[in-house]
Amino acid sequence: MKFTLAKPRIFFKVSRFLFPFIIVMGVLCFGTGLYTALVTSPPDYQQGDAMRIMYIHVPASWMALCVYSLLAILSLFILVWRHPLAEILAISAAPIGALFTLLSLVTGSLWGKPMWGTYWVWDARLTSVLVLLFLYVGYWALYKAYAHPAQGIRAASLLALIGAINLPIIKGSVNWWNTLHQPASITKLSTPSIHPSMLFPLGLMTAAYGFYFLLLLILRARTEFNKRKCLVQENFS
């Protein structure tokens, strides 16, 4: 299963062309999103201004799940087709996903303190997100544990696929168990249970996180690609 864009050189050529657009859109979304989140959006009628941490916490949580989903898909390509671009992208995406997950846990704890009276409870949602962080860390540890990178990436990919079962658990935890974490505020795009004045900055911040992820992914993937080229050249020299 080979596509033109799946060739590393073609992929990086296209990404180099899109790179300035990603930077511009990311800066615009971050700037506008932060302004509307902190200035123009109203405080929550129950939580007051403490609710504004939602604009940092929720996009981070969504990105943590999205990046792991991407990691699982790339892992399938690695195990089945051993595609070099999938390897480069997976290795590049894993630390970024771990960063989003850590940010989600930290901001969630800061939000939980004024709402619940404590920074941490062994709540189903919080615990399953903590497991997600351990999966990211375990993925990277497995990859680095092997002397031969090909063995490490296959072992890590297998863990990523097995760990994907945690994604629906995170998503359904607030509905399946009695938890302190509030249920989803956006069930359908057509009928969200969040006011448009809050939904708009939340959407902007989510887009900003997405562009930030693409920016880091391209930079890390370029570094990994160049590292592999140098290793090949050293082996043949």
As for how many domains the chain has, the answer is 1
Q: Which amino acid would we find at residue 105?
A: L
Domain membership of residue 4 (yes or no) is: no
Domain membership of residue 3 (yes or no) is: no
Virtual torsion, Cα 82, 87, 88, 94, nearest 10 deg = 170
Domain membership of residue 1 (yes or no) is: no
Per-residue pLDDT of the chain (237 residues; tens, 9 = 90+): 445 556 778 888 899 999 999 999 999 999 999 999 999 999 887 788 888 999 999 999 999 999 999 999 999 999 998 888 999 999 999 999 999 999 999 999 999 888 888 888 888 889 999 999 999 999 999 999 998 888 999 999 999 999 999 999 998 876 666 565 666 655 544 555 677 889 999 999 999 999 999 999 999 999 999 888 777 666 665
Domain membership of residue 12 (yes or no) is: no
Domain membership of residue 2 (yes or no) is: no
- 34 contacts: CB under 8 Å, gap ≥ 6: 55, 205
- Residue 123 CB-half CA count within 13 A: 23
SS3 136: helix
Which residues on adjacent β-strands are paired with residue 48? 44
pLDDT value of residue 60: 97
Domain membership of residue 201 (yes or no) is: yes
Domain membership of residue 13 (yes or no) is: no
Beta carbons of 182 and 193 less than 8 angstroms apart: no
Which residues form the domain of 158?
18-40+52-183+196-236
pLDDT value of residue 189: 47
pLDDT value of residue 235: 61
d(CA 31, CA 43): 19
Domain membership of residue 218 (yes or no) is: yes
